[in-house]
Amino acid sequence: MRHLINPLDFSLDELHDLLNLADDIAAAPEKYQDVCAHKKLATLFYEPSTRTRLSFEAAMMNLGGSVLGFSSADSSSASKGESVADTIRVVSAYADIAAMRHPREGAPLRASMYSRIPVINAGDGGHEHPTQTLTDLMTIRRRCGKLDGLTIGLCGDLKFGRTVHSLITTMVRYPNTKFVLISPKELRVPDYIYNDVLKPSGCRYVKTTSLEEAMPQLDVLYMTRIQRERFADPNEYRRLKDSYILTPDKMALGKPDLAVLHPLPRVNEITLEVDDDPRAAYFEQAQNGVYVRMALIMTLLGLTEKPLADKPASSRELVEMHCPNPRCITGVEEGVKHLFHRAPDGVLRCIYCEQEA
List active site positions.
Answer: 51-52, 80, 101, 129
**Cα–Cα distance between 281 and 354 in angstroms, integer?**
31
Cβ atoms of 339 and 318 closer than 8 Å: yes
DSSP-derived 3-state class of residue 97:
strand
d(CA 20, CA 109): 27
Contacts 24+ apart (CB under 8 A), 287-291: 288/22, 288/26, 288/135, 288/138, 288/139, 288/142, 289/51, 289/52, 289/55, 289/131, 289/132, 289/135, 290/55, 290/58, 290/59, 290/62, 291/22, 291/23, 291/25, 291/26, 291/29, 291/59, 291/138
ω before 265 within 30° of 0 (cis)? yes
**Reduced 3-state DSSP string for 269-314:** CECHHHHHCCCECHHHHHHHHHHHHHHHHHHHCCCCCCCCCCCCCC
Residues recorded for the chain: 357
Q: Cα 177 vs. chain centroid, distance in angstroms? A: 19
122 near 49, Cβ under 8 Å?
A: yes
Q: Determine the Cα angle at 249 with ends 244 and 252, to 5°.
A: 110
**Main-chain dihedrals φ then ψ at residue 120, nearest 5 degrees:** -110, 130
Alpha helix positions (H), 174-331 = 191-193, 199-201, 211-214, 234-240, 248-251, 282-300
